[in-house]
Amino acid sequence: MAKQNIRHLSYADIETYFLEQGEPKFRAKQVYEWLWQKKAGSFEDMSNLSKVLRAKLQEEFDLPALKVDATQYSSDGTIKSRFITHDGHKVEGVLIPTEERKTACVSSQIGCSLSCKFCATGYMERKRNLSFDEIYDEVVLINQQSERVYEKKLSNIVFMGMGEPLLNYSNVLRAIERITAEDGLGMSPRRITVSTAGVAKQIKKLGDDGVRFKLALSLHAANDVKRNEIMPINETNNIRVLIDALNYFYKKTGNEITFEYILFKDFNDSLKDAEELVKIYRQVPADLVNIIEYNPIDFFNYTKPDEEGIERFMSYLEKNRVNARLRRSRGKDIDAACGQLANKDRL
């Protein structure tokens, strides 16, 4: 019979367990600290428990943890890690360093079911959702890298890795609860951004649940015809529906909303496309439009515009008072940039 993952127990559950074993209540606090603050990788690490008690926990519970399987270092300082789960699946996460920030880009699923044409993960089969403790482990491991390589803790977390976070809703929210809890990693929710390809029903649910983190919508085309072509999810969650959902989210939470827009040469980079993007921007209380460089993948034959085309598009947005920022890609040389995560064997 499979042992229960001890990290899937609440504090109250652990407390009840120890009382039933005739142990004092404070044992629960000790164990909880090892699980969520001291990042114990095994029961043997819990040095303030007796050997007998550690052996008993080992006998009755499981403590599976994500492990680093391989690491790549980009010439620009970006670090990509491939993690391996307790059941042998692989998933990638990225540390993106700048002078001001150390950002973890984390995954929420093993593979993805949305099949966005420009994203390497979209060509993978979705194997399963990551559990909340596996997502937590991604952050812990990337934070350890940041401290080791850059001598600084993570400042930001973005859910922009493999998978659609809002199709793993409960695990993502529970992971963020542990990441932001005082008895967890203690990070501010305002330093966390969850990015979605556009699951309108779940965007509204975020509003109803009163979340405190930021939300980013991967828009990438400003009309339904073009968005349908590169993002099949638009056929059931079109732009009008998404605008309504984002306004609902903002009304409920007041949290920051960002649009993500990858530029593809001769597809969505004309001034007419820019004009349509401005119209969408004016219908949502968005703080920012991130214009993103396209990073080529094997399966999609689009290219990015030349610098003149990018500048023309940006100038139009700025002239029309859109708060737009050009996000230069990081980690392209190790396939760690936006849309490139795919568990390549050469890692």
Q: Range of 22's domain?
A: 4-62
User: Is residue 41 located within the same domain as residue 119?
Assistant: no
Q: Kindly state whether residues 282 and 169 are assigned to the same domain.
A: yes
Contacts of 189 (CB under 8 A, 6+ apart): 176, 180, 211, 212, 213
Among residues 62, 90, 111, which one ends one of the domains? 62
Residues 109 and 40 reside in one and the same domain: no
For residue 23, with 0-12 CB atoms within 10 Å meaning exposed, 13-18 middle and 19 or more buried, which class applies? middle
29 with 176, same domain: the answer is no
| pLDDT of 346 above 80 | no
User: Does residue 339 form part of some domain?
Assistant: no
Catalytic residue among 105, 116, 119, 338: 338
pLDDT digits (tens, 9 = 90+) for 135-151: 999 999 999 999 999 99
Final residue before a domain boundary, out of 15, 36, 62:
62
For residues 26 and 102, membership in a common domain is answered with no
Residue 25 lies in a domain: yes
Residue 31 pLDDT greater than 90, yes or no: yes
> Which of 238, 319, 240 has the alpha carbon at shortest distance from 283?
240
**345 pLDDT more than 50:** no
Same domain, 56 and 72: no
- State which of 25, 47, 62 marks the end of a domain: 62
Question: Is there a domain that residue 341 lies in?
Answer: no
19: pLDDT strictly greater than 90: yes
Instruction: Kindly report whether the global pTM for this prediction surpasses the value 0.75.
Output: yes
Token pair 């044409």: residue = 117
Give 53-76 pLDDT, tens digit per residue: 999 999 999 999 999 999 999 999
Please tell me which residue in 92, 134, 138, 164 is annotated as part of the active site.
92
Whether 344 maps to a domain, the answer reads no
The whole-angstrom separation of Cα 146 and Cα 81 is 12
* In a shared domain, residues 17 and 112: no
- Between CA 126 and CA 135, with CA 130 as vertex, the angle to 5 degrees is 140
In-domain check, residue 262: yes
CA atoms within 13 A on the CB side of 19: 7
158 and 36 share a domain? Answer: no
* 57 and 74 share one domain: no
Residues pairing with 230 in the sheet: none
Are 232 and 85 part of one and the same domain? yes
Q: Is the pLDDT of residue 292 over 90?
A: yes
- Give mean pLDDT, residues 265-277: 97
> Are 226 and 93 part of one and the same domain?
yes
Q: How confident is the model at residue 339 (pLDDT cuts 50, 70, 90)?
A: very low
Closest to 69 (Cα-Cα) out of 265, 347, 303, 292: 347
- How many structural domains does the chain have? 2
Q: Are 135 and 83 in contact (CB under 8 A)?
A: no
User: What span, in angstroms and rounded, lies between the C-alpha atoms of 272 and 293?
Assistant: 19
- CATH of residue 21's domain is 1.10.150.530
- Is 116 one of the catalytic residues? no
Query: Average pLDDT of the chain?
Result: 93
CATH number at residue 182: 3.20.20.70
* CA atoms of 210 and 214, how far apart (whole Å): 11
* C-alpha to C-alpha distance for 184 and 196, rounded to whole angstroms: 25
pLDDT higher than 90, residue 103: yes
Domain-located, residue 151: yes
> What's the average model confidence in pLDDT over 246-254?
98
| Structure letter (DSSP) for residue 252 | H
Is 231 inside a domain boundary? yes
340 domain-assigned: no
